[in-house]
């Protein structure tokens, strides 16, 4: 799992990491293919995926994702792409919910901001 923020309150803690670490890595790799078209970075680098849960007993997964802005015009497409990637990777029905956390640059994967000249 990528190191997101030094601030523990802004780090994403994926439940799947402790329950199914091998699947967490696969989900992360798949989600790196979901690119924000305005910014040109993937949803992992941006720190938009806040939670991934996998329930083996029920055979389903859930993803919680935030957007870089509350009125992101690409939100529906990004949410659907992320849900589809996880569903295809984990091969179980997957729901996605949009979190209400406000994004800021400190959510970005460590080193990503440097590429932009931000950190």
Q: What pLDDT digit, counting tens, does each position of 52-76 carry? A: 999 999 999 999 999 999 899 999 9
C-alpha 84/C-alpha 88 separation (Å) is 6
Q: How far apart are CA 19 and CA 28, in angstroms?
A: 15
Instruction: Tell me, yes or no, whether 97 lies in a domain.
Output: yes
Give the total number of structural domains in the chain: 1
Give CA–CA dist 24/44, Å, rounded: 12
Is residue 82 domain-resident? yes
Per-residue pLDDT at 92: 98
Distance between CA atoms of 29 and 1, rounded to whole angstroms? 9
Domain-located, residue 32 = yes
> To 10 degrees, the CA torsion angle through 107, 4, 112, 102?
-10
Does residue 54 form part of some domain? yes
Residues 6 or more apart whose Cβ sits within 8 Å of residue 115:
none
Residue 117 included in any domain: no
Give a yes or no: residue 114 inside a domain: no
* Position 106 confidence tier, pLDDT thresholds 50, 70, 90: confident
With contact defined as beta carbons under 8 Å apart, do 67 and 96 qualify?
A: no
Domain-embedded: residue 79: yes
User: CA-based angle 102:76:93, to the nearest 5?
Assistant: 100
- Residue 70 is assigned to a structural domain of this protein: yes
Question: Which range marks the domain in which residue 67 is found?
Answer: 8-108
19-54 pLDDT, tens digit each: 999 999 999 999 999 999 999 999 999 999 999 999
* CATH number reported for the structural domain that contains residue 77 in this entry: 3.30.300.130
Q: Global pTM?
A: 0.87
């Amino acid at each position: 799992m990528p190191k997101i923020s030094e601030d523990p309150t802004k780090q994403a803690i994926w439940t799947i990491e402790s329950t199914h670490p091998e699947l967490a890595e696969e989900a992360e790799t798949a989600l790196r293919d979901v690119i924000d078209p305005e910014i040109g970075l993937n949803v992992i680098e941006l720190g938009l995926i806040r939670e991934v849960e996998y329930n083996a007993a029920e055979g389903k997964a859930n993803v919680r994702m935030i957007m870089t802005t509350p009125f992101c015009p690409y939100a529906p497409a990004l949410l659907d792409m992320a849900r589809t990637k996880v569903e295809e990777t984990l091969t179980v029905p997957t729901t996605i919910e949009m979190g209400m956390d406000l994004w800021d640059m400190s959510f970005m994967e460590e080193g990503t901001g440097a590429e932009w000249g931000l950190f």
